[in-house]
């Protein structure tokens, strides 16, 4: 009787929350500002019936205000053999809230849920893009899902992107299973959740959240928005029951059910290792195996297996030569196992903003997989999805956070390396000849490490003409007449990219009577930011780096340098800057170092940061005068 009572409350809560006027005139004025769309009302209602039975009812009504909001009209409904979808209905309302079109499941297109064509997957999606020729209009979508995969209780987030406002959104959990569900609430300045508990029924809601405008250096949207997380202590994933009481019980299940079945060291894999004739230290052996794996495989996104969480078997990767991050990491792990070297499959959040796992909140989460190899000294970290990335190098979106290292004894949460700006460097050494016609001829060597190594790896996927165009675009501030790139090298042992750049550019200098003047930093446009508008969001310098430039200028015969500018050095909490000038044998040497630290700062400090970058830009824009004798 008590369960029936709570079920009645649950159904009433779901139904009456949508008895709403969908006319645009009923949207509060503050929600229209800066919005391309407004979530009028949304509900996600879970009924956890048992460890292997969960029902979800979802309804969303969103008003598309203009063509800029068309992306929010797309309806995408996922399903698979263990997740059945029913009662699908999509309704379109005009600006006055009048219903003018209805769609059902037969109107949807049904696709394999995998961007990589030609590969078998068991996840599918239903897709519908409702179209209206008149704006604004409202799309209301409702459907029910029944699934045995009880590990997935979505995070409750009021929104997931910029430029969209929220009138009302609700989330509820009716727990009739007797299973303990762990919850965690994260409020932010954007909004605080309203919540209540009535026996087994938990209700959460957000109301009247204005659209967020993406500002320069805004952190990841996931960092900014509030959320409520859920994690059941007992669960089922694709017919396999698990225990998430703590990270160790969850890790043992993960290792036994997801990793071990796909990690067999087959005779073929043993033969692969034998053929490598491994020798040397552990690190040298790991490098040999890693670069062998890279040369043999390619990355392909695959969403098959247990809910997209289980890798395809290592034996299949060995035969076919492709896989996604899960498959390639597990294949590399299995190769190491065959060589007698232990390593750990490690789940991570890969994102510009740092997202970490909570040591007190076990949950199936993360969006990427890497490999950690313990050694007597520091761990070796392997990114397995790229054929070009260097040994023991993680991208900037994987450092300064933690991973879930899956072991036979459970999950260990381990921190990844923290790259300092000096380890993410562009080193430029250039010689520049200034001609009397104001053009320049330049010979320079560029060297990139750390995160700047990552951003330059794309050069190796370009044809020569594409590479030239890419570098012309990079140095867009120069009026380039000729450009060539030579000695391009990816040092996969030390994570360093080098190349020599030769160029000729016109109109670099400016005439001033018989004299000439030129900017001291030729290769890049100085970066500045505006503080014209009142800052709303915190800001993040997510990419720590250091640019170290050494330049030598030669000038035409019959010219001499004027007064040498004063050197400058200054430092802030955001970073530091130094520039030094020296004249010798009628040549000017300039040494400039800009260092930017990683950090997230309150909005009140944005003006200080802009002032710092304006000061660095001002020094970069220093003009050098040369006079004709």
What CATH number is associated with residue 141?
2.60.40.3140
In a domain, 20, yes or no: no
What would the 3-class secondary structure string for 485-545 be? Answer: EEEEEEECCCCEEEEEEEEEEECCCEEECCEEEEECCCCCCCCCCCCCCCCCCCEEECCCE
d(CA 321, CA 333): 15
Tell whether 77 and 202 lie within a shared domain. Answer: yes
Is 3 a member of any domain?
A: no
Q: Are residues 524 and 542 in the same domain?
A: yes
Residue 29 and residue 213 in contact, taking contact as beta carbons nearer than 8 Å:
no
Full residue range of the structural domain in which residue 127 is found: 26-234
SS3 390: coil
Is residue 172 assigned to a domain? yes
Q: In this structure, are 182 and 164 located in the same domain?
A: yes
What's the DSSP call for residue 457?
Answer: G
Same domain, 125 and 180: yes
Same domain for 129 and 251, yes or no, is no
Domain final residue pick, 234, 255, 270: 234
Residues 337 and 374 in one domain: yes
Is 308 in the same domain as 224?
Answer: no
The answer to whether 499 and 485 are in contact (CB under 8 A) is yes
In this structure, the answer to whether residues 462 and 593 fall within a common structural domain is: yes
Backbone angles phi, psi at 288, to 5 degrees: -60, -45
Domain identity same for 345 and 427: no
Does residue 8 sit within a domain?
no
Question: Do residues 404 and 440 both lie within one domain?
Answer: no
pLDDT of residue 8: 42
Residue 592, domain member (yes or no): yes
Specify whether 388 is located in the same domain as 441: no
What is the structure's pLDDT at 534? 87
Instruction: Judge whether 392 lies within some domain.
Output: yes
Per-residue exposure over 532-569, b if at least 16 CB sit within 10 Å of its own CB, e if not: eeebebbbbbbbbbbbbbbbbbbbeeebebeeebeebe
Choose one of 375, 392, 415: the last residue of a domain: 415
Counted domains in the chain: 3
Select from 376, 393, 415 the last residue of a domain: 415
CATH of the domain at 250: 3.10.620.30
pTM of structure: 0.89
Predicted local confidence at residue 352, as pLDDT: 86
Distance of alpha carbon 592 from alpha carbon 621, whole angstroms: 12
Domain assignment of residue 7, yes or no = no
Residue 21 in any domain: the answer is: no
Consecutive 10-residue runs of the chain (629 residues): their mean pLDDT? 41 46 95 97 97 97 96 93 94 96 96 56 85 94 96 93 96 97 95 96 97 93 94 94 96 96 96 96 96 92 64 93 92 97 96 91 93 94 94 93 96 94 96 96 97 95 95 94 96 96 96 92 84 88 95 95 93 98 95 97 96 95 93
Q: Are residues 251 and 221 in the same domain?
A: no
Beta strands in 530-622 (DSSP E): 539-541, 545-554, 559-561, 568-572, 575-584, 587-596, 599-601
Q: DSSP letter at 259?
A: I
């Amino acid at each position: 009787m008590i369960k029936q009572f709570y079920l009645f409350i649950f159904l009433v809560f779901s139904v009456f929350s949508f008895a709403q006027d969908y006319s645009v005139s009923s949207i509060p004025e503050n929600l229209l500002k800066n919005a391309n769309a407004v979530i009028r009302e949304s509900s996600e209602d879970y009924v956890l019936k048992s460890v292997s039975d969960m029902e979800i009812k979802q309804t969303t009504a969103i008003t598309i205000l203009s063509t800029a909001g068309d992306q929010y009209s797309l309806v995408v409904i996922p399903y698979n053999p263990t997740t059945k979808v029913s009662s699908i209905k999509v309704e379109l309302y005009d600006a006055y809230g009048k219903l003018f079109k209805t769609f059902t499941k037969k109107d949807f297109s049904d696709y394999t849920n995998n961007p990589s064509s030609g590969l078998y997957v068991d996840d599918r999606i239903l897709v519908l893009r409702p179209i209206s020729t008149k704006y604004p209009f409202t799309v209301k979508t409702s459907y029910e899902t029944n699934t045995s995969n009880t590990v997935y209780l979505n995070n409750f987030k009021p929104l997931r992107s910029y430029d969209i406002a929220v009138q009302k959104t609700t989330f509820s959990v009716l727990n009739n299973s007797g299973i303990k569900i762990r919850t965690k609430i994260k409020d932010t300045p954007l909004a605080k959740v309203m919540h209540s508990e009535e026996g087994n029924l938990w209700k959460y809601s957000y109301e009247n959240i204005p659209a967020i405008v993406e500002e320069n250096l805004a952190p990841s949207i996931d960092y900014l928005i509030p959320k409520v997380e859920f994690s059941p202590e007992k669960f089922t994933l694709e017919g396999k029951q698990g225990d998430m009481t703590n990270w160790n019980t969850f890790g043992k299940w993960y290792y036994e059910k997801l990793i071990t079945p796909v990690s067999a060291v087959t005779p073929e894999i043993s033969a692969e290792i034998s053929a490598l004739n491994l020798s040397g230290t552990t690190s040298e052996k790991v490098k040999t195996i890693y670069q062998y794996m890279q040369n043999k495989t390619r990355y392909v996104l695959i969403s098959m297996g247990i809910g997209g969480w289980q890798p395809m078997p290592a034996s299949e990767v060995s035969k076919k030569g492709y896989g996604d991050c899960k498959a390639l990491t597990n294949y590399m792990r299995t190769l190491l196992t065959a060589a007698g070297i232990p390593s750990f499959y490690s789940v991570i959040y890969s994102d510009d903003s740092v997202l970490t796992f909570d040591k007190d909140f076990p949950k199936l989460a993360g969006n990427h997989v890497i490999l950690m190899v313990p050694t007597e000294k520091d761990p070796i970290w392997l990114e397995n999805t790229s054929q070009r990335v260097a040994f023991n190098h993680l991208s900037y979106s994987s450092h300064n956070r933690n991973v879930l290292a899956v072991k036979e004894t459970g999950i260990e949460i381990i921190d990844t390396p923290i790259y300092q700006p000096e380890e993410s460097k562009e080193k430029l050494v250039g010689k520049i000849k200034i001609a009397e016609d104001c053009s320049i001829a330049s010979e320079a060597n560029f060297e990139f490490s750390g995160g700047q190594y990552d951003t330059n790896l794309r050069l190796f996927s370009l044809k020569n003409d594409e590479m030239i165009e890419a570098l012309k675009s990079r140095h867009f501030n120069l009026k380039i007449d000729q450009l060539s790139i030579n000695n391009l090298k990816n040092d996969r042992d030390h994570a360093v990219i080098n190349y020599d750049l030769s160029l000729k550019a016109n109109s670099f200098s400016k005439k001033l009577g018989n004299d000439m003047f030129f900017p001291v930093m030729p290769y890049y446009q100085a970066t500045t930011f505006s503080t014209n508008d009142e800052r709303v969001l915190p800001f993040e310098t997510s990419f720590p780096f250091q640019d170290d430039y050494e330049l030598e200028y030669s000038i035409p015969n019959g010219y001499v340098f004027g007064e040498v500018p004063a050197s400058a050095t200054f430092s802030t909490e955001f970073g530091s800057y130094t520039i030094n000038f020296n004249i010798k044998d009628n040549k000017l040497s300039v040494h400039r170092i800009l260092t930017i630290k990683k950090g997230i700062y309150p909005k009140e400090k944005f003006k200080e940061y802009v002032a710092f970058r304006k000061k660095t830009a001002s020094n970069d824009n220093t003009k050098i005068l040369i006079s004709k004798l």
